[in-house]
A = this chain, B = another copy of it.
């Protein structure tokens, strides 16, 4: 059984958990699925396997295999099966660069494995299940523009679609800037969220930020939206910089292009940046400005890869594929 799921970009970030085991987040978050960043995952349960065999991007990875097996255990328990599985997962973008491969990866795994195990889950149930493997994966299940309600319990904490992909012709131009992988995993980084002296203040303002962001989405107010999204990305990094110990996820190249985007705005090209916990930079613009953004980027040699994303649907089963 094969499923494909998009990665997503959070406009309002997920940072800090109130329950580490269940991945219950400290705040609700809002994201957009990304058309150009996907993971395709095939799961076969079969009694020929003595143990789970997990191949991610062509390689066996012990640490990730353990997370996959833990997730398969959740699904086996629900489906009341004991079969081991072969899992082959392939992303079309590099891992550990701030592009949320665990979001697309665990969303695709959740859908393919639960379907292969004979479970017929609703979107909400899939989102809840994906969340337990990797928080942000729950946002890659529904379609388009998505809200993840934090909830008080596991059953209340899931993502749902606010708008379909065609709601707004936003573009997210992703820059992959180096071959460097992050030193501290997002999972480990998340544990430090509450150590920042600014984290509580951030949480206090979040509901009001979410309200403003939803309004800008509803009205397709790109300027209001862009300012909010960029400020939110900087606020995330401000919280991480002031964690104890400090988390410095920004890379020199990332900072360079953040400042470029700021310059472009002064020149009349309206684009805004966003960041996750890695070196990749997300540049948000309107469809009409994509050509200009590409022209601006054409002169730079320090970009490894440019990936153009539009709002995308959620996770889906695919019936034929190439491996």
List residues of A whose CB falls within 8 A of some B CB: 197-198, 201-202, 205, 230-231, 234-235, 237-239, 241-242, 244, 246, 248, 250-253, 255-256, 258-259, 262
User: Which of A238, A242, A251 has most B Cβ within 10 Å?
Assistant: A238
Other-chain contact of A255, B201, B255, B262 (Cβ < 8 Å): B255
B244 in contact with A241 (CB, 8 Å) = no
Q: 4 tightest A-B contacts by CB?
A: A238-B238, A252-B252, A252-B256, A234-B241
Known: A231-B244, A235-B241. 5 other contacts (CB 8 A): A197-B201, A231-B246, A234-B248, A241-B241, A250-B250
**How long is the Cα–Cα vector from A267 to B20 in the complex, in angstroms?**
31
Given the contacts A197-B201, A197-B205, A242 and B235 also touching, CB distance less than 8 Å: yes
Chain B residues with CB under 8 A of A231: 242, 244, 246
Chain B residues with CB under 8 A of A202: 197
Other-chain contact of A262, B205, B248, B251 (Cβ < 8 Å): B248
Chain A binding site: helix, strand, loop or mixed by DSSP? helix
**How long is the Cα–Cα vector from A241 to B241 in the complex, in angstroms?**
10
Chain B residues with CB under 8 A of A256: 252
User: Which of A244, A255, A258 has most B Cβ within 10 Å?
Assistant: A255
Nearest to A235 among chain B residues (CB) is: B242
A sample of 27 cross-chain residue pairs with beta-carbon separation below 8 angstroms, ordered by A number, consists of A197-B201, A197-B202, A197-B205, A197-B235, A198-B198, A198-B201, A230-B246, A231-B244, A234-B241, A234-B242, A234-B246, A235-B241, A237-B238, A238-B238, A238-B241, A241-B241, A248-B255, A248-B258, A248-B259, A248-B262, A250-B250, A250-B255, A251-B255, A252-B253, A252-B255, A252-B256, A255-B255
Chain B residues with CB under 8 A of A197: 201-202, 205, 235
Nearest to A257 among chain B residues (CB) is: B252
**How long is the Cα–Cα vector from A258 to B252 in the complex, in angstroms?**
10
**How long is the Cα–Cα vector from A246 to B237 in the complex, in angstroms?**
12
**How long is the Cα–Cα vector from A248 to B246 in the complex, in angstroms?**
18
**Distance from A139 Cβ to chain B, minimum over Cβ atoms (Å):** 24
**How long is the Cα–Cα vector from A238 to B242 in the complex, in angstroms?**
7
**How long is the Cα–Cα vector from A250 to B319 in the complex, in angstroms?**
49
Chain B residues with CB under 8 A of A255: 248, 250-252, 255
**How long is the Cα–Cα vector from A235 to B205 in the complex, in angstroms?**
19
**Distance from A246 Cβ to chain B, minimum over Cβ atoms (Å):** 5
Chain B residues with CB under 8 A of A250: 250, 255
Chain B residues with CB under 8 A of A239: 238
User: Which of A234, A251, A258 has most B Cβ within 10 Å?
Assistant: A234
Nearest to A198 among chain B residues (CB) is: B198
**Distance from A115 Cβ to chain B, minimum over Cβ atoms (Å):** 43
A237 in contact with B241 (CB, 8 Å) = yes
**Distance from A200 Cβ to chain B, minimum over Cβ atoms (Å):** 8
